[in-house]
């Protein structure tokens, strides 16, 4: 019996006018995901989207970041030691980190940078995926498992000339101290041969922490380090550890001064960025004594109420 | 994601209608609940760097052959023969695999300082290729370097000056092949293996042979004893070709065989629904199907034919092997089986299939009723290993418009065969009695040698290809075909598939088991009765 045109129940168009039914004898595979790590962000790197994003970042994000976070930028001249594309590896304590970091990058680099964002958080819904890909030029990175697609995507973008912002901790700090670094930035550097620029962001946790109150105004510091490359024979694991030590030393520098921090680094006594191994209140106490943070720990004139995440 | 293997689907109430080719169009048919549908494996990944793969194959040949470079020397006579327009189907996008291989062979020949090189299209009794077809197959570089100097030739199975008799096999088969190929210091044969039947000794022993030689294996007896000719171990067609090929080798003809396999990625993106399983059709696939089928319903057949014959398949090379014929072919066949075999449990009472617009003998031409029969009963029926998909005495149901239409330039003897021979008998053995008259008819010979006509005997061969199926089947029913043309073939016309299945039950009994051979992608059934 030839199926011609509409058929099936009255008032309902049958196949092929409507979607096919699935044979009962076959297991139905999970539907193809088009969000999360599978979301295709290529559209956000085409010229119309880049132009629109440049307008938004330069005229909205950047002024807002400066109003909210009043960043002091140090070491930006070191960026000229490495030719783009580079891997910008930063500590991560707040959702403010990305717009803040983007807003202080030199203009050319800012508009040619993608941001590695957690696929399960920023790309779990289609509207969120569109939003973050469009506004921040974010690309989805699977942080809970080794995902070849994510690695290939990031490496491919570097090879295409896009610099990459990556947070090696894999997520925001729950208490302002560092979490253990993962190997993604080092792996990409070894794989692509691109330099890693260590970045330390101080103060953002106070303004918009992972858990707790809403956004408040304050001061922050963005410190760029000397671009790093893997030494001969240095594998990704060891290079990753070196990146972590470098950013910890930059954090130490933020809490003291460069010379003191260098001496501690030379002596191998740089305090670990992960904070003291103590009870939560002592960790919070230790963090509170950080002068560069304490200086900013003043509520702004306004606050944005923020729904607490479960 | 790695390609999924083929499988047999059992139709249930939830199964959407099944796609049938119907000449230059398609039909969606609802098969009875409990029917089975054989889906071929998805196309395998192509070689990432085919040129390096070819060079590797030439440097490291299989069997007892030396590398190609070691076989080449200044002053030698080199002939490169290649498969004709009948492969691949549909013709592939540029660069054709023959171009890729021949360019590498010529690179080696140039490095070795070989001057005397001739290219020969291995036509057997097929029509001569047009200049455009040769250019497409070989690429501009090769065509422009050889054709203007008369060094690109087409095998002429009726040219007594360009044929040489090499001897007779122990079965009494005379072996006569192209003189230039036989008298060369090295014959390089460039093959395309689309199905398991192609290649091996058949390349030279058939592709470069004369009618005198071909008649020993292109006859009803050989075809009836090839079960099937996709299974070389059980194919008398191949046994005969192997005897001839070994005689050719013993005669001193040095053959360096290069065989390639292609994936089953047959149709371009706009027809991708053809290759997909119906329940996985996306909105885009459904829109593509509706748009193309509705448009084709309103398109004159001649225009539809032109559209379809302009399709260039995205086939890509999946393997290449070179060296001694039998060692090469063993590897090639294993690769084809790996791409196409699907296990099937048990035969069915009724086998259904939709036939497309193309077969090996109507590229850029018309699919006449004899070719419809050959494609259904010759090719698709024989896509098995072990046992046929349909039981002895079962029914084959074909879907094709089967127009009473012939290309007078390409198939002149087909017209007379249809009018004069099939009116006498459709039994291949009876039909064979008329063979000599057609094979030696000077007008057909003239058209074959100077025009673009298939040899006068070719329609007989097409009918012989059906011999095994005709002997095996209880009836053949054609759905949606020209009723007069179908009856002339000795088959039964039916308007719809439901009618055809009703008529089939008169032959095989009520509630017959039905199996549909879904194509594309190509599948070779490994049937365990």
Q: Contact, B262 vs B315, CB < 8 A?
A: yes
Question: How many helices (H) and strands (E) would you count in chain B?
Answer: 21, 20
Alpha carbon distance B349, B289 (integer Å): 30
**For the ranges A167-181, A288-302, B266-280, which has the lowest average pLDDT?**
A288-302
Alpha carbon distance B33, B16 (integer Å): 11
The last residue of one of the domains, among B208, B242, B262, is B262
**In B, which residues are within 8 Å of A15 by CB distance?**
16-17, 28, 278, 281, 286
Instruction: Using CA coordinates, name the residue in chain A closest to B501.
Output: A1
Confidence check: pLDDT of A309 > 70: no
The b/e string for B104-134 (b: 16+ C-beta within 10 A; e otherwise) is bbbebbeebebeebbbbbbbbbbbbbeeebb
**In A, which residues are within 8 Å of B27 by CB distance?**
2-3
Q: What is the token pair recorded at A144?
A: 């809970």
Tell me how crowded residue A257 is: count the other CB atoms within 10 A of its CB: 10
CB contact under 8 A, A24 and B280: no
Alpha carbon distance B123, B134 (integer Å): 12
Residue B123's domain spans which residues?
50-262
| Rg for chain A, CA atoms, rounded | 23
Mutation for testing the A interface, residue in B15, B25, B401, B500 having most A CBs under 10 Å: B15
DSSP label of B86: T
The b/e string for A286-297 (b: 16+ C-beta within 10 A; e otherwise) is ebeebebbeebe
Residue A298 has what pLDDT? 42
The last residue of one of the domains, among B222, B238, B262, is B262
Residue B339 has what pLDDT? 95
Q: How confident is the model at residue A8 (pLDDT cuts 50, 70, 90)?
A: very low
Alpha carbon distance A221, A259 (integer Å): 18
Q: Does one domain contain both B159 and B215?
A: yes
End-to-end CA distance of chain B: 33
State how many domains chain A has. 1
Q: Contact, B304 vs B25, CB < 8 A?
A: yes
The last residue of one of the domains, among B262, B292, B323, is B262
Q: Does one domain contain both B72 and B159?
A: yes
Q: Contact, A140 vs A119, CB < 8 A?
A: yes
Alpha helices by DSSP H, B226-368: 236-250, 283-297, 301-309, 325-340
Nearest to B481 by CA among B493, B469, B467: B493
Alpha carbon distance B295, A47 (integer Å): 37
Q: Tell me if B305 is assigned to some domain.
A: no
Q: What is the token pair recorded at B431?
A: 């039909």
Alpha carbon distance B58, B61 (integer Å): 6
State how many domains chain B has. 2
Q: Tell me if B331 is assigned to some domain.
A: no
Q: Tell me if A149 is assigned to some domain.
A: yes
Residue whose tokens read 């008259």:
B437
Q: What is the token pair recorded at A83?
A: 């030719």
Residue B408 has what pLDDT? 96
Alpha carbon distance A219, A298 (integer Å): 9
Work out how many CB contacts closer than 8 A connect A with B. Answer: 60
Q: Does one domain contain both B76 and B34?
A: no
Bridge partners, residue B209, by sequence: B177
Q: Tell me if A31 is assigned to some domain.
A: no
Which residue of B16, B290, B498 is in closest CB contact with A1?
A: B498
Q: Tell me if B495 is assigned to some domain.
A: yes
Residue A303 has what pLDDT? 40
Alpha carbon distance A88, A110 (integer Å): 11
Across the range A197-201, mean pLDDT stands at: 94
Phi and psi based region of residue B200 (left: phi greater than 0; alpha: psi -120 to 50; beta: remaining) = left
**CATH number, domain at B160?**
3.40.50.11440
Reported as type and span, the H/E element at residue A192 is helix A184-192
Q: What is the token pair recorded at A276?
A: 């003291």
The string of pLDDT tens digits covering residues B256-268 is 999 999 999 999 9
Cα maximum dimension of chain A: 86
ipTM: 0.76
Cα maximum dimension of chain B: 71
Confidence check: pLDDT of A307 > 60: no
Q: Contact, B424 vs B418, CB < 8 A?
A: no
Residue B242 has what pLDDT? 97
Nearest to B123 by CA among B93, B103, B161, B152: B152
Alpha carbon distance B168, A249 (integer Å): 89
Which residue of B12, B13, B278 is in closest CB contact with A20?
A: B278
Q: Does one domain contain both B37 and B88?
A: no
Residue whose tokens read 């090295």:
B186
Percent of chain A predicted with pLDDT > 70: 83
CB contact B297 to A (< 8 Å): no
Q: Does one domain contain both B376 and B482?
A: yes
CB contact under 8 A, A2 and B290: no
* A97-104 helix and A126-136 helix, angle to the nearest 10 degrees: 20
Q: Contact, B158 vs B228, CB < 8 A?
A: no
CB contact under 8 A, B15 and A16: no
The string of pLDDT tens digits covering residues A17-54 is 988 888 888 887 776 667 788 888 889 999 999 999 99
Confidence check: pLDDT of A142 > 80: yes
Q: What is the token pair recorded at B353?
A: 């299939």
**CATH number, domain at A150?**
3.40.1130.10
Alpha carbon distance B425, B490 (integer Å): 9
Q: Tell me if B25 is assigned to some domain.
A: yes
Min CA distance, A28 vs chain B (Å)?
Answer: 10
CB contact B286 to A (< 8 Å): yes
- Which of A81 and B232 is assigned the larger pLDDT? B232
Q: What is the token pair recorded at B490?
A: 């000795």
**CATH number, domain at B17?**
3.90.226.30
**In B, which residues are within 8 Å of A24 by CB distance?**
12-15
Instruction: Render B182-213 in DSSP notation, one character per residue.
Output: HTSSEEEEEEEESSTTS-TTHHHHHHTB-HHH
Alpha carbon distance A246, B93 (integer Å): 54
End-to-end CA distance of chain A: 56
Q: Contact, B361 vs B342, CB < 8 A?
A: no
Confidence check: pLDDT of A295 > 70: no
Residue A195's domain spans which residues?
39-293
Q: Does one domain contain both B21 and B123?
A: no
Instruction: Render B273-292 in DSSP notation, one character per residue.
Output: GGGS-GGG--HHHHHHHHHH
CB contact under 8 A, A16 and B289: yes
Q: Contact, A270 vs A233, CB < 8 A?
A: no
Q: Does one domain contain both B70 and B142?
A: yes
Q: Contact, B446 vs B404, CB < 8 A?
A: no
Torsion angle, CA of B264/B267/B270/B272, rounded to 10 degrees? -30
Across the range A117-135, mean pLDDT stands at: 89
Residue B1 has what pLDDT? 62
CB contact under 8 A, B497 and A16: no
Q: How confident is the model at residue A12 (pLDDT cuts 50, 70, 90)?
A: low
Q: Does one domain contain both B16 and B102?
A: no
Q: Does one domain contain both B97 and B172?
A: yes
Residue A32 has what pLDDT? 65
Record the pTM: 0.70
Measured CA distances, B78 to B83, B165, B328 (Å): 17, 20, 20
CB contact under 8 A, A26 and B9: yes
Nearest to B266 by CA among B48, B517, B519, B82: B519
Which residue of A2, A15, A21 is in closest CB contact with B497?
A: A2
The string of pLDDT tens digits covering residues A236-287 is 899 999 999 899 888 888 777 776 777 777 778 888 888 877 766 667 767 7
Q: Contact, B95 vs B133, CB < 8 A?
A: no
Q: Tell me if B62 is assigned to some domain.
A: yes
DSSP label of A75: S
Q: What is the token pair recorded at A170?
A: 């894999």
Q: Does one domain contain both B245 and B376?
A: no
Q: Does one domain contain both B433 and B479?
A: yes
Alpha carbon distance B456, B445 (integer Å): 7
Alpha carbon distance B327, B329 (integer Å): 5
Spans of chain B below 70 pLDDT:
1
Q: What is the token pair recorded at B308?
A: 């379809």
Q: Does one domain contain both B90 and B215?
A: yes
Alpha carbon distance B129, B84 (integer Å): 7
Bridge partners, residue B525, by sequence: B342, B384
Across the range A76-98, mean pLDDT stands at: 88
* Contacts (Cβ under 8 Å, ≥6 apart) of A65: A71, A96, A99, A100, A102, A103, A104
Reported as type and span, the H/E element at residue B29 is strand B26-29
Confidence check: pLDDT of A217 > 90: no
């Amino acid at each position: 019996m030839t199926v011609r045109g509409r058929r099936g129940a009255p008032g309902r168009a049958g196949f092929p006018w409507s979607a096919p039914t699935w044979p009962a004898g076959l297991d139905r595979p999970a539907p193809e995901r088009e969000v999360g790590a599978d979301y295709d962000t290529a559209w956000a790197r085409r010229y119309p989207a880049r132009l629109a994003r440049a307008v938004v970042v330069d005229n909205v994000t950047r002024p807002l970041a400066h109003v909210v976070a009043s960043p002091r930028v140090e070491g930006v001249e070191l960026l000229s030691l490495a030719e783009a594309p580079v891997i910008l590896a930063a500590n991560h304590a707040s959702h403010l980190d990305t717009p803040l970091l983007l807003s202080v990058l030199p203009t050319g680099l800012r508009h040619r940078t993608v941001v590695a964002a957690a696929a399960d958080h920023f790309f779990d819904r289609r509207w969120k995926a569109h939003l973050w890909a469009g506004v921040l030029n974010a690309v989805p990175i699977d942080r809970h498992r080794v995902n070849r697609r994510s690695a290939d995507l990031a490496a491919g973008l570097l090879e295409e000339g896009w610099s990459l912002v990556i947070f090696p901790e894999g997520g925001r700090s729950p208490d302002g101290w560092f979490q253990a670094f993962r190997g993604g930035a080092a792996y990409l550097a070894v794989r692509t041969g691109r330099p890693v620029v260590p970045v330390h962001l101080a103060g953002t946790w106070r303004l918009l922490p992972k858990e707790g109150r809403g956004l408040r105004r304050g001061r922050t510091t963005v410190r760029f380090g000397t671009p790093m490359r893997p030494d001969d024979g240095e594998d990704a694991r060891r290079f990753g550890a070196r990146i972590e030590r470098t950013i910890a030393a930059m954090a130490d520098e933020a809490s003291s001064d460069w010379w003191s921090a260098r001496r501690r680094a030379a002596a191998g006594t740089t305090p670990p960025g992960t904070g003291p191994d103590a009870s939560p209140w002592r960790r919070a106490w230790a963090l509170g004594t950080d002068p560069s943070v304490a200086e900013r720990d003043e509520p702004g004139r306004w606050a944005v109420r923020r729904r607490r995440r479960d | 994601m790695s390609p999924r293997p083929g499988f047999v689907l059992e139709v249930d109430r939830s199964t959407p209608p099944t796609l049938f080719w119907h000449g230059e169009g398609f039909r969606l048919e609802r098969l009875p609940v409990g029917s089975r549908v054989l889906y071929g494996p998805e196309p395998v990944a192509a070689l990432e760097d085919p040129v390096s793969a070819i060079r590797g194959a030439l440097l490291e040949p299989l069997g007892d052959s030396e590398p190609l470079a070691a076989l080449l020397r200044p002053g030698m006579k080199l002939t490169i023969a290649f498969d004709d327009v009948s492969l691949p189907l549909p013709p592939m996008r540029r660069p054709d695999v023959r171009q890729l291989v021949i360019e590498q062979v010529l690179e080696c020949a140039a490095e070795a300082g070989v001057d005397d090189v001739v290219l020969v299209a291995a036509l057997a009794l097929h029509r001569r290729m047009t200049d455009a077809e040769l250019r497409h197959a070989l690429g501009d570089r090769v065509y422009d370097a050889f054709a203007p100097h008369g060094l690109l030739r087409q095998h002429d199975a009726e040219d007594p000056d360009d044929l040489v008799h090499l001897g007779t096999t122990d079965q009494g088969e005379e072996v006569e092949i192209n003189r230039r190929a036989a008298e060369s210091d090295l014959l390089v044969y460039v093959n395309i293996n689309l199905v398991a039947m192609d290649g091996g000794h058949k390349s030279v022993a058939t592709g470069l042979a004369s009618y005198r030689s071909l008649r020993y294996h292109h006859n009803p007896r050989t075809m009836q004893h090839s079960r099937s000719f996709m299974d070389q171990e059980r194919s008398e067609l191949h046994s005969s070709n192997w005897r001839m090929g070994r005689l050719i080798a013993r005669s001193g003809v040095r053959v360096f065989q290069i065989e390639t396999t292609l994936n089953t990625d047959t149709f371009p993106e706009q027809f991708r629904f053809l290759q997909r399983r119906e329940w996985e059709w996306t909105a885009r696939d459904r829109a593509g199907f509706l748009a193309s089928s509705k448009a084709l319903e309103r398109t004159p057949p001649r225009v539809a034919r032109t559209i379809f014959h302009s399709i260039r398949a995205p086939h890509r090379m999946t393997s290449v092997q070179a060296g001694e014929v039998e060692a090469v072919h063993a590897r090639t066949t294993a690769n084809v089986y790996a791409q196409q075999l699907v296990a099937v449990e048990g035969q069915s009472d009724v086998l259904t299939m939709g036939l497309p617009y193309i077969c090996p003998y109507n590229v850029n031409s018309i699919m006449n009723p004899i070719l419809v029969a050959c494609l259904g009963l010759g090719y698709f029926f024989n896509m098995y290993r072990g046992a046929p998909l349909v039981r002895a005495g079962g029914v084959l149901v074909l879907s094709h418009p089967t127009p009473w239409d012939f290309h007078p330039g390409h198939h002149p003897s087909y017209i007379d065969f249809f009018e004069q021979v099939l009116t006498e008998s459709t039994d291949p053995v009876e039909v064979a009695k008329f063979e000599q008259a057609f094979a030696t008819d000077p007008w057909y010979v003239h058209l074959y040698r100077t025009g673009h006509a298939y040899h006068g005997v070719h329609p007989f061969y097409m009918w012989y290809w059906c011999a095994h199926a005709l002997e095996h089947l209880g009836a053949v029913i054609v759905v949606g075909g020209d009723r007069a043309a179908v009856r002339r073939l000795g088959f039964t016309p039916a308007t719809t598939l439901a009618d055809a299945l009703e008529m089939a039950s008169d032959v095989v009994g009520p509630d017959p088991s039905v199996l549909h051979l879904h194509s594309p992608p190509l599948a070779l059934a490994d049937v365990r009765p």
